[in-house]
Amino acid sequence: MTGVVAIGADRDPQHWRGTRADNVHLTSFVQQRLLLAATDVFITHAGFNGTREALGAGVPMVTIPMFAEQPANAARVTELGAGVRIELERAAPQAIRSAVQQVLTDPSFRARARGVQRSMLALPPLSRITDDLTGLFG
């Protein structure tokens, strides 16, 4: 298993002094949608865009929400059966490892994430919103 961790656009991975396993690749930035296409599980803080992109790619998640809309997004991912949630206070390495293993070994998480993906793909394109609103209020 290989992990990719984006540490922030303003941070140089060459200056990372923390511990890191050999199978973890650090980067300043990653094209998330491209990476999700080849991802088995997405560990995320459950921000709106990352959650939407993961579900759009049919990728199950381990969510660790911190603030703002993230707890609500994480709750919805759990309700949908597309991932598991870890509270920030409990996000120790062993807890994250256990949650990732759970998501990887139980095929229902991927099946449910792909079900959401199919539902999203069946939606009309966002470009239709102007015509739809004109039809409603025109």
pLDDT tens-digit series, residues 59-93: 999 999 999 999 999 999 999 999 999 999 999 99
Would you say residue 127 lies in a domain? yes
How much is the mean pLDDT over the chain?
A: 95
**Pair 62, 48: CB distance under 8 Å:** no
- Report helix, strand or coil for 84: strand
Would you say residue 14 lies in a domain? no
Count the Cβ atoms, other than its own, within 10 Å of residue 98. Answer: 14
Would you say residue 24 lies in a domain? no
Would you say residue 5 lies in a domain? no
Would you say residue 22 lies in a domain? no
Q: What is the mean pLDDT of residues 122-130?
A: 90
Q: What is the CATH number of the domain that holds 119?
A: 3.40.50.2000
pLDDT of residue 37: 95
End-to-end CA distance of the chain: 54
Would you say residue 1 lies in a domain? no
Would you say residue 118 lies in a domain? yes
Confidence of residue 112 (pLDDT cuts 50, 70, 90): very high
- The two structure tokens encoding residue 88: 């920030």
Structural domains counted in the chain: 1
Q: CA-CA distance, 41 to 66, in Å (whole number)?
A: 19
pLDDT of residue 138: 76
- The two structure tokens encoding residue 89: 């206070």
Q: What are the distances in angstroms from CA 29 to CA 4, 54, 100, 112?
A: 10, 17, 22, 28
Q: CA-CA distance, 21 to 12, in Å (whole number)?
A: 18
Residue 79 belongs to domain spanning: 31-136
Q: CA-CA distance, 83 to 112, in Å (whole number)?
A: 9
Confidence of residue 45 (pLDDT cuts 50, 70, 90): very high
Q: CA-CA distance, 65 to 104, in Å (whole number)?
A: 20
pLDDT of residue 32: 95
Q: CA-CA distance, 2 to 60, in Å (whole number)?
A: 16
Would you say residue 110 lies in a domain? yes
